[in-house]
C-alpha cells in the first residue's frame, strides 16, 4: 500500500492549479446514461472514483473513450442496468446511476451501500424520491430493484433533509419523466447546478437548479452534448489551507472564488490574507499562527463538511481554542486521533471537536481513514517538525489528482513510497 513521506517546515510558494470537480464529474458521467447519443465531458479529473464510475458505465453497456483530455460516453444501449456490490462498496456515489437507469431503461438494480468511515450514509431518500416519480422499488438481498416499465411520471419530491446525490439522482430521473416534477428542499451545491447545466445542454427543461426548489418539465428524449466540469471547490479549499498552514504565499488558479467563500471568510477572520486575483484565482498569504475561529459545517453555501478535517488541521496550531461542529455526518472526526499522534490537542464531545491550539506539531506515523481525513494529515505533516509517514493514501487518490506532484512543485517535501 502506498504511503506519503513528508518532511514538514517548508512554506509553500508559487501557483497551485485546480482540477475539475470530482463531485460534479461523478453525476455528469451518470447523466451520460440518459441518452443514446455521444456526450463529451471536459476537465474530468483523473482520480480513482472517476475511474470506478467509468467502469460502472461500461458494466451497464455504455462505451467510454478518452481523447485529448476529454471523456466521450456513448450509451447506445444499456443491456445490464445494474450497479453491483463490488463497485458500490468501493464508491458510494455509484447510487447515482439508479435514477438515470430507471428513467432510461425502466429498470435498475443497485447494491445498497453499507456503512462507511464517515457515517451510515443510507440512500433511503433517493429511493422514496424515485417512488414519488412512479417507480416500484423493492429491497432484497442487499439490492435496491427499481421498475418503471411504462416510464416515470412527474411528481412532487420533498426531501426531509438536504441530500446532494439524492437531489442529483432524482433530477436525472425527472428529466425523462412524463409531466412536471417539483423537487423541494433540494441541495443548492454548485455540483447540482453544474449537473443541471449539462442536462439542459442535452435537451432537458429545468428551472431553479442551485436554489432549494427545482422544477423539471420532462421531455421524451435527450440528445448528445459537450460540457466542461466546474472547478473542484474542495481541492481549491484544501490548497488554500495548505498555503496558510505552511505560512506560505500561494496563488490558487482555475478556481471559482465564490464557491469557497464560506472558507475564505473564516480564513480571513483567523488572520490569513486572501485576495481575489481576477475571476478565477485566489492568492493566500499567512506568515503567523492563526487566531482560533469556530466553524460549523452546513450544506452549501455554508462551510463544507468536505473541508472540516483540513480546517481543523490548521486550527490545531491556532492561538486559543476553536470549536469545530460537524452537522452533516455523524462520524467525521476520524482524523482527530491521528492529528493527536502529531501533537494536536483535540477533545470530541458528540458532534463537536474542541481544538486547543498548540505551538507546533511533530512528525509521526499516521493512517488515513477517508479521503478528506487524509488531506488533513498531509496538511498537518507539511508543518510538523521532522518526518511523517501517512499510510493508506489510496484514500487520497480517490479524489485528488497528482497531489504529491502539485504540492512538491510549490516546495513541499513529499514523496510517495511503498
Ligand atoms: N442521508 C440520508 N439518506 C439518504 C441520503 C443522505 O440519511 O438517502 C444523510 C447522509 O447520511 C448524511 C446527510 O444525509 O448524513 C447528507 O448526505 P448527502 O446525501 O448530502 O451526501 P452524499 O450525497 O452522499 C455528497 C458528496 C460528499 C459530501 C456530501 C455532503 C458526492 C459524490 N459526495 O455526498 O463528498 O461530503 O455530499 O456535502 O457528491 C467527498 O468528496 O469526500 C464526499 C464525502
Q: Where are the domains of the chain?
A: 3-19+231-417, 22-228
Mean pLDDT of 321-343: 96
pLDDT per position as a tens digit, 356-386: 999 999 999 999 999 999 999 999 999 999 9
Q: Which residues contact 48 (CB under 8 A, 6 or more apart)?
A: 394, 397, 398, 399
The three-point CA angle 255-257-259 to 5° equals 90
User: 336: which residues sit within 8 A by CB, 6+ positions away?
Assistant: 312, 344, 346, 348, 353
Helices and strands in the chain: count of H runs, count of E runs: 14, 24
Close Cβ partners of 78 (under 8 Å, ≥ 6 residues apart):
33, 60, 61, 62, 101, 104, 105
Give, using CA atoms, the residue closest to atom 14 of ligand 1: 163
pLDDT digits (tens, 9 = 90+) for 10-29: 999 999 999 999 999 999 99
For residue 29 and ligand 1, the question of a CB distance below 6 A is answered with no
At 158, the pLDDT band (50, 70, 90 cuts) reads very high
Look at the block and give the residue holding cell 462505451.
63
pLDDT at 284: 98
pLDDT confidence of residue 297 = 98
* Cα 294 → chain centroid: 23
**Confidence at residue 115, expressed as pLDDT on a 0 to 100 scale:** 64
**pLDDT for residue 331:** 85
pLDDT band at 89 (very low <50, low <70, confident <90, very high): confident
Q: What is the pLDDT of residues 291-316, one digit of tens each?
A: 999 999 999 999 999 999 999 999 99
Domains 3-19+231-417 and 22-228 share a fold: yes
Cβ(386) to ligand 1 under 6 A? no
Overall average pLDDT of the 148-153 stretch: 97
Our answer on whether the CB atom of 230 is closer than 6 Å to any ligand 1 atom is no
pLDDT at 3 over 70: yes
164 C-beta closer than 6 A to ligand 1: yes
User: Which of 121, 161, 170 maximizes ligand 1 atoms within 8 Å of its Cβ, making it the mutation to test the pocket?
Assistant: 121
Nearest atom (ligand 1) to Cα of 165: 23
Atom of ligand 1 nearest to the CA of 118: 44
State the pLDDT confidence band at 119, using cuts at 50, 70 and 90: confident
User: What is the spatial distance between Cα 398 and Cα 53, in angstroms, rounded to a whole number?
Assistant: 11
Q: Tell me the Cα Rg of the chain.
A: 21
Q: Which of 110, 328, 351, 396 to mutate to test the pocket of ligand 1 (most atoms within 8 A of CB)?
A: 328
Expressed in angstroms and rounded, the spacing between residue 198 Cα and the centre of ligand 1 is 21
Architecture of the domain spanning 22-228:
Alpha-beta prism (3.65)
> Is 122 close to ligand 1, i.e. is its CB under 6 Å away?
yes
Query: Is 263 in a helix, a strand, or coil?
Result: helix
Q: Is the pLDDT confidence value at 120 over 80?
A: no
pLDDT tens-digit readout, 389-416 = 999 999 999 999 999 999 999 999 999 9
- The mean pLDDT of 55-72, rounded to a whole number, is 95
Closest to 412 measured CA to CA, from 377, 382, 372, 381:
382
Residue located nearest, by CA, to atom 2 of ligand 1: 122
Question: Atom 15 (ligand 1): residue with closest C-alpha?
Answer: 329
Beta strands in 56-196 (DSSP E): 63-67, 70-74, 82-83, 107-111, 136-140, 143-147, 156-158, 180-184
Nearest CA to ligand 1 atom 5: 123
So which residues are the catalytic ones?
Answer: 116
Q: Which atom of ligand 1 is nearest to the CA of 306?
A: 36
Is pLDDT at 215 greater than 90 in this prediction? yes
CATH topology of domain 3-19+231-417: UDP-n-acetylglucosamine1-carboxyvinyl-transferase; Chain (3.65.10)
- Closest ligand 1 atom to residue 125 Cα is 8
Q: End-to-end alpha-carbon separation of the chain, Å?
A: 6
- 177 neighbors 146 (Cβ within 8 angstroms): no
**pTM: predicted TM-score of the whole model, two decimal places:** 0.98
> Is residue 285 pLDDT above 70, yes or no?
yes
Is the distance from the beta carbon of residue 399 to the nearest atom of ligand 1 less than 6 Å? yes
Q: Distance between CA atoms of 43 and 394, rounded to whole angstroms? A: 22
Q: Does the pLDDT of residue 122 top 90, yes or no?
A: no
Q: Give the span between the Cα atoms of 69 and 234, in whole angstroms.
A: 21
Atom of ligand 1 lying closest to residue 189 CA: 38
Whether 95 lines ligand 1, by a CB cut-off of 6 Å, is no
Q: Compute φ and ψ for 51, nearest 5 degrees.
A: -65, -40
**Separation CA 314–CA 380 (nearest Å):** 7
| Mean of pLDDT over the chain | 96
> Would you place residue 202 in the very low, low, confident or very high pLDDT band (cuts 50, 70, 90)?
very high
Q: 272 pLDDT exceeds 90?
A: yes
Distance 119 CA to ligand 1 centre (A): 10
For 86, list phi and psi in degrees, rounded to 5.
Answer: -60, -30
Cα–ligand 1 centroid distance for 319 (angstroms): 32
Q: Which of 44, 165, 230 to mutate to test the pocket of ligand 1 (most atoms within 8 A of CB)?
A: 165
Amino acid at each position: 500500500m502506498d504511503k506519503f513521506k513528508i518532511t514538514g517546515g517548508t512554506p509553500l510558494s508559487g501557483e497551485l492549479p485546480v482540477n475539475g470537480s470530482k463531485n460534479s464529474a461523478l453525476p455528469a458521467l451518470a447523466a451520460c446514461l440518459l441518452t443514446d447519443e455521444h456526450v463529451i465531458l471536459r476537465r474530468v479529473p483523473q482520480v480513482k472514483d472517476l475511474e470506478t464510475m467509468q467502469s460502472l458505465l461500461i458494466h451497464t453497456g455504455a462505451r467510454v473513450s478518452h481523447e485529448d483530455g476529454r471523456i466521450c460516453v456513448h450509451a447506445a444501449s444499456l443491456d445490464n442496468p445494474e450497479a453491483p456490490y463490488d463497485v458500490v462498496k468501493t464508491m458510494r456515489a455509484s447510487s447515482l446511476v439508479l435514477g438515470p437507469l430507471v428513467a432510461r431503461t425502466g429498470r435498475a438494480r443497485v447494491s445498497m451501500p453499507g456503512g462507511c468511515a464517515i457515517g451510515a450514509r443510507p440512500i433511503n431518500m433517493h429511493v422514496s424520491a424515485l417512488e414519488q416519480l412512479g417507480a416500484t422499488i423493492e429491497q432484497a438481498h442487499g439490492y435496491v430493484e427499481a421498475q418503471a416499465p411504462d416510464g416515470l411520471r412527474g411528481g412532487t419530491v420533498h426531501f426531509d433533509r438536504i441530500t446532494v446525490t439524492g437531489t442529483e439522482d432524482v433530477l436525472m430521473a425527472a428529466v425523462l419523466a412524463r409531466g412536471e416534477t417539483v423537487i423541494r428542499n433540494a441541495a443548492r451545491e454548485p455540483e447540482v447546478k453544474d449537473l443541471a447545466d449539462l442536462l439542459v445542454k442535452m435537451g432537458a427543461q429545468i428551472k431553479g437548479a442551485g436554489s432549494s426548489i427545482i422544477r423539471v418539465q420532462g421531455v421524451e428524449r435527450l440528445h448528445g452534448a459537450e460540457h466542461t466540469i466546474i472547478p473542484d471547490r474542495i481541492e481549491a479549499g484544501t490548497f488554500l489551507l495548505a498555503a496558510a498552514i505552511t505560512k506560505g504565499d500561494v496563488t490558487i488558479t482555475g478556481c471559482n472564488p465564490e464557491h469557497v467563500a464560506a472558507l475564505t471568510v473564516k480564513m480571513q477572520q483567523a488572520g490569513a490574507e486572501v485576495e481575489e486575483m481576477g475571476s478565477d484565482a485566489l492568492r493566500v498569504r499567512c506568515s503567523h499562527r492563526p487566531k482560533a475561529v469556530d466553524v460549523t459545517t452546513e450544506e452549501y453555501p455554508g462551510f463544507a463538511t468536505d473541508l472540516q478535517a483540513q480546517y481543523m488541521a490548521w486550527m490545531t496550531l491556532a492561538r486559543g481554542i476553536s470549536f469545530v461542529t460537524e452537522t452533516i455526518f455523524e462520524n467525521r472526526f476520524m482524523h482527530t486521533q491521528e492529528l493527536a499522534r502529531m501533537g494536536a490537542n483535540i477533545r470530541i464531545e458528540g458532534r463537536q471537536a474542541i481544538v486547543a491550539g498548540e505551538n507546533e506539531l511533530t512528525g509521526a506515523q499516521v493512517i488515513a481513514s477517508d479521503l478528506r481525513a487524509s488531506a488533513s494529515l498531509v496538511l498537518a505533516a507539511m508543518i510538523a517538525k521532522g518526518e511523517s509517514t501517512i499510510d493508506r493514501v489510496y484514500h487520497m487518490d480517490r479524489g485528488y489528482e497528482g497531489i504529491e506532484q502539485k504540492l512538491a512543485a510549490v516546495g513541499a517535501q513529499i514523496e510517495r513510497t511503498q
